[in-house]
Amino acid sequence: MEIKYELAKTLKEKPADESKLGFGHIFTDHMFIMNYDIGEGWHDARIVPYGDISLSPAAMCLHYGQEIFEGLKAYRTAEGKIQLFRPDENFKRMNVSNERMVIPKINEQDAMEALMALLNVEKDWVPYSEGASLYIRPFIIATDPYVGVRPADHYMFMIILSPSGAYYSTGLNPVKIYVESNYVRAVRGGTGFAKTAANYAISLAGQDEAHKQDYEQVLWLDGVERKYVEEVGSMNIFFVIDGEIITPALTGSVLSGITRKSAIEICRSKGYTVTERKITIQEVAEAYDAGKLDEVFGTGTAAVISPVGHLKWEDKIMEINDNKIGQISQMLYDTMTGIQWGKIPDEFGWIVEVK
């Protein structure tokens, strides 16, 4: 794929204090863009200065939400290498989301080439400090100026980059999670398995309610019977019950997390049994009452592993593992971050170096 370069004339000042990066506020000097027009396919791949884009107020993505996105990170190792964790999985999932949202597929190799080219230009933006990384946000929006509901004929694919601080600046503190019994996020046949704006817009009311009650995140139940556990806001969920590691099966309403998949593969490689199946919140509560709910943790790109220390389901409060990180959660966190930051050998072949 031919990529045109229009480089910024002046570069921004990089944040001096990486401990204040936070998440998602700062963007680098450049971005990648390519366009899709019906009859022509994806074309005009280019790296240009980061900045506002011009869209018609009638652009279809603004009205009917035809869009998809991805999220991954670039890590700087102690030796100064820059590496990605399973980026091929993100571009594969992007096409799964595209298919569901009737967006033309991208060539996954081209998307990877685009990312590599952009990262090459922006290498200096990958943070240096422990736990900090460069968040990568590829996305596609429908741009036709048309106020009517149909799949668009014109799209933009973009990649933007945002340096982000260590998720855990004060240690791996367990999170407080609230089981949502009123709102639902997704149903089978819907878009739960796709990474599309609608799933996040629909989650805001539940998230807002959780925050009002001083909870950090929502645990979603299935949208039909409201009894099977699905996932957390932006994480998949795992339970360790009586030594068995259980995570909800991917039945169509749950995002197929890359951290989830990696956690399963790491656990199995170390001889643990991992079961992907339907699990009710009742079963979780009963395991808790029987003293068998050993650990609960979320998995996702942002936090990697997020231990759950406090789970509220209606009037029932479950304090898990004395509100401390469990053994399996810690092992997964150490293994995954060890591979990502090049501290331990990548025996799975998951790392792709940015050269």
Interacting residue ranges for ligand PMP, rule: CB under 6 A: 71, 231, 234-236, 255, 257-260, 299-301
Q: From the CB of 27, what's the least distance to ligand PMP, in Å?
A: 19
Q: From the CB of 220, what's the least distance to ligand PMP, in Å?
A: 9
Q: Identify the helix (H) or strand (E) that includes residue 5.
A: strand 4-5
Map residue 176 onto helix, strand or coil: strand
Q: From the CB of 260, what's the least distance to ligand PMP, in Å?
A: 6
Query: C-alpha distances in angstroms, 143 versus 34, 61, 62, 164, 227?
Result: 12, 6, 8, 29, 39
Q: From the CB of 355, what's the least distance to ligand PMP, in Å?
A: 24
Q: Which CB sits closer to ligand PMP, 30 or 86? A: 86
Q: Which CB sits closer to ligand PMP, 26 or 232? A: 232
Q: β-pairing, 41-49 with 30-37?
A: antiparallel
Query: Which residue is listed with tokens 């004395």?
Result: 322
Q: Which CB sits closer to ligand PMP, 257 or 342? A: 257
Q: Which CB sits closer to ligand PMP, 61 or 232? A: 232
Query: Which residue is listed with tokens 């011009």?
Result: 54
Q: From the CB of 245, what's the least distance to ligand PMP, in Å?
A: 16
Residues 268/211, Cβ–Cβ less than 8 Å: no
Q: Identify the helix (H) or strand (E) that includes residue 209.
A: helix 204-212
Residues 180/218, Cβ–Cβ less than 8 Å: yes
Q: Which CB sits closer to ligand PMP, 71 or 131? A: 71
Q: From the CB of 16, what's the least distance to ligand PMP, in Å?
A: 29
* Angstrom distance (rounded) from CA 246 to CA 256: 15
Q: Which CB sits closer to ligand PMP, 207 or 259? A: 259
Q: From the CB of 153, what's the least distance to ligand PMP, in Å?
A: 28
Residues 6+ positions from 142 with CB-CB distance below 8 Å: 59, 60, 61, 64, 66, 67, 103, 151, 152, 154, 155
Mind giving me the DSSP string for 147-172? -S-S--SEEEEEEEEEEE--S-TT--
Q: Which CB sits closer to ligand PMP, 103 or 152? A: 103
Q: What are phi and psi of 266, to 5 degrees?
A: -65, -50
